[in-house]
Amino acid sequence: MSRFFQFAKTAATIVVFLSVVASAQPEPKLDTHEQRTARAMLAAVQAGPLELHAFLELMPKGADLHNHLTGSIFAENFIAEAVSDHLCVNPASYTLVKPVGLSRGIPAHPVCSAGDVPVEQDYRNSQLYDDLIDAFSMRAFVAREGDSAHDHFFNSFSKFGLVSDAHTGEWLDEVARSTAKDNTQYLELMMTPDFGHGSDLGAKLGWNPNLEQFRQALLSHGLREGVEEARQAIESAEKQRLAAEHCAQPDAMPACKVETKFLFQVLRGFPPERVFAQMVLGFEVASSVPDVVGVNIVMPEDGRISMRDYHLQMQMFDLLHHDYPKVHLSLHAGELAPGLVPPDGLRFHIREAVELGHAQRIGHGVDVMYEDHPHQLLHELAQKHVLVEINLTSNDLILGIRGEEHPFPIYRRYGVPVALSTDDAGVSRITLTHEYVRAAATYHLTYADLKQMARESLEHSFLPGKSLWPEAESSTPEQFTRVAPACAHEKLGAQKPSASCTAFLDRSQRAQQQWELESRFHAFEARY
């Protein structure tokens, strides 16, 4: 056979083979909306961060689970509130201070101590106004001796701290409005109800290393009085917020659709008798005020007392978890970096928060690879379904940890559930969309990755009730493929589900929010 015929025969065989393969292929399917949305995101990534921002702002994000209420207020609003509170400011430290009195006449003006000026002067002195915004936030921050980024961030809380709690309803409104614009539907806001009474009671009774006896003593000396105060403070703030947003009225604002619950935050940088008294109050509040769904612990983890008493504070959580097993716990742990504390300080915080403190979620978890046996710990977090709340901008600003130094991709690789959150959106001057853009651009995430995280956020919320996704509770990594039987035959997120599905959703606040998220995904993806 000539070479030509040999070639022709081989070519014919290939053609026949290819046509057989082609005819064996199923009919080409049309792309789903989800696939087209994924491609739209890819195009936005290629077009750059501004297009990506425009895309992600509209994407449904589920919950922001790590969000400190006062840290999420923008400085401009604190200044306006300080003016209405008739406060003064110390122009050297930019700290709000009380006036010595008020002038006669209407309207009254604050009379300030020598050297201090009324905050209302800011509106006539634009330099002071600008400086105050910089002091209350990380705007324009440049590190200099005596003012590191870490210190500037945490110190901002004491600078604006004198703004009255009477504005709590306005803060809730501000956060709900910005959350709605981010297409985020659920918040677990960390706040500190007035626990002065509880903390002082702890100090008065004095430290007792027998924690159960100490708890009984606190309760028998009236600690529970603080529960009613916390309930009333939260209820009245919520009422203010709903009125400001015209909720349940024809002109209700989109912010009304943001569901808000609270985590009682315990300040850990105090002597143990004060910390324990706050904790007991926190567990009591979370046991009897339905809007308070759990307890957290705050203040710099690298602080002297936080480091000295870390193990003791986890023992306190251990005891209180046994006394109040239904109270949910998310604990700040591992918000540390090499150099910030000695190497031994990096070895055990996340592990103890989970194994001794019974944390169901970890806030930050930045130093995980410096813990003892980090790979075993990562497997343990995945198997126990402990979610890590990831705060990329906050970690960059406070700890200087970013990019490859951040363990976010490692958590994902090990199947540890993760969700993006803002931490202190006002101090950092960010939004949750900003964090989504940052995560997607830095770690090359796909639309499916982001969708998974949005679903994780609600799956690990402390809302009561069963999950819409029964497999997520057992599989590692968590699967969002099989729907609870009562709703298994519905279009996900349908406006009018069947009677059995409606009954299931009515019994579970968590599943309701999950259903709402699916409905939002449906609407978002229908655009593409």
Map residues 383-422 to x or -, x wherever contact with Zn ion holds by CB under 5 A. ----------------------------------------
Q: Is 270 helix (H, G, I), strand (E, B) or coil?
A: coil
Residue carrying the six token digits 């792309």: 31
Looking at the Cβ atoms of 128 and 390, the one nearer to Zn ion is 390
Residue 273 sits in the site that holds Zn ion (CB under 5 A): no
Looking at the Cβ atoms of 64 and 423, the one nearer to Zn ion is 423
Q: Is 387 helix (H, G, I), strand (E, B) or coil?
A: strand
- The pairing of beta strand 88-90 with beta strand 117-118: antiparallel
Q: Report the candidate in 62, 137, 156, 24 with the shortest Cα–Cα distance to residue 452.
A: 62
Identified binder of Zn ion from the candidate list 116, 423, 435, 478, rule CB under 5 A: 423
Length of the chain: 528
Tokens standing for residue 251 = 């002109």
Rounded to 10 degrees, what is the CA torsion of 152, 157, 158, 159? 70
Q: Report the candidate in 335, 330, 435, 398 with the shortest Cα–Cα distance to residue 157.
A: 398
Phi, psi (degrees; rounded to nearest 5) at 476: -130, 120
Residue 239, amino acid: K
Looking at the Cβ atoms of 57 and 302, the one nearer to Zn ion is 302
Residue 188 sits in the site that holds Zn ion (CB under 5 A): no
- The pairing of beta strand 184-191 with beta strand 259-267: parallel
**Closest separation between CB of residue 67 and Zn ion, Å?**
8
**Closest separation between CB of residue 49 and Zn ion, Å?**
25
- The pairing of beta strand 117-118 with beta strand 184-191: unpaired
Map residues 11-50 to x or -, x wherever contact with Zn ion holds by CB under 5 A. ----------------------------------------
Nearest-CB residue for Zn ion: 423
**Closest separation between CB of residue 290 and Zn ion, Å?**
23
Residue 174 sits in the site that holds Zn ion (CB under 5 A): no
**C-alpha distance from residue 494 to each of 362, 379, 519, 523 (Å):** 33, 36, 6, 11
**Closest separation between CB of residue 30 and Zn ion, Å?**
45
Applying CB under 5 A, the site for Zn ion has a residue count of 1
Looking at the Cβ atoms of 330 and 514, the one nearer to Zn ion is 330
**Closest separation between CB of residue 349 and Zn ion, Å?**
14
**Closest separation between CB of residue 430 and Zn ion, Å?**
13
Looking at the Cβ atoms of 158 and 249, the one nearer to Zn ion is 158
Tokens standing for residue 32 = 């789903």
Q: Taking CB under 5 A as the criterion, which residues in 66-105 touch Zn ion?
A: none
Count CA atoms within 13 Å of residue 256 on its CB side. Answer: 14
Looking at the Cβ atoms of 65 and 211, the one nearer to Zn ion is 65
Q: How far apart are CA 431 and CA 289, in angstroms?
A: 29
**Closest separation between CB of residue 71 and Zn ion, Å?**
7
Q: Is 39 helix (H, G, I), strand (E, B) or coil?
A: helix
Looking at the Cβ atoms of 259 and 424, the one nearer to Zn ion is 424
Residue 182 sits in the site that holds Zn ion (CB under 5 A): no
Looking at the Cβ atoms of 64 and 371, the one nearer to Zn ion is 64
**Closest separation between CB of residue 393 and Zn ion, Å?**
12
Residue ranges in contact with Zn ion by CB under 5 A:
423
